[in-house]
Structure 1
C-alpha cells in the first residue's frame, strides 16, 4: 500500500494546472505534474552523469605532447 498525503493548494493554481495538463480531476492533474517533474529530474541526472563520465574519460586519455 502506498502512503497518501493530503495538502491544500490555492484553487487558482490547481485550475491552471488542470487546464494546462488537460486533466479534469484536480487530484490527477497535480499527480501528473508531480510525476512529470520527477521524471524530468531523473532525465537531467542521467544526462549530467553521461556528460561527467565522458569528461572523465577525456581526462584519463593520454594527451598529445605539447610544445
Structure 2
C-alpha cells in the first residue's frame, strides 16, 4: 500500500495519542482514520437498510380507502 507523509499540529497528535491510548503518533492517527472510515461504512449500511425498507413499504399496494 502506498504511504503518505503529512504534517500535523503536535498538540493535536498528542491529544489523539492520549485519547486513543496509543504511544506512537503514527499509530494514533492511523487508528483515528480507520475509525472514521469504519463509522462511515456503518452509516452507509444503516442508511441503505432504511431506504430499502421505505421502498418496500411504498411498493406495497394500499387498500382502497373510503
* TM norm structure 2: 0.97
Matching residue of 1:48: 47
Query: Aligned residues, how many?
Result: 66
Which secondary structure does the structure 2 equivalent of 1:63 belong to? Answer: coil
Matching residue of 1:62: 61
* Cα RMSD, aligned residues only: 0.5
Give ranges in structure 1 of 5+ residues lacking alignment. Answer: none
Q: Distance in 2 between matches of 1:64 and 1:10?
A: 62
- Structure 1 residue runs of 4 or more that deviate by more than 6 Å after TM superposition: none
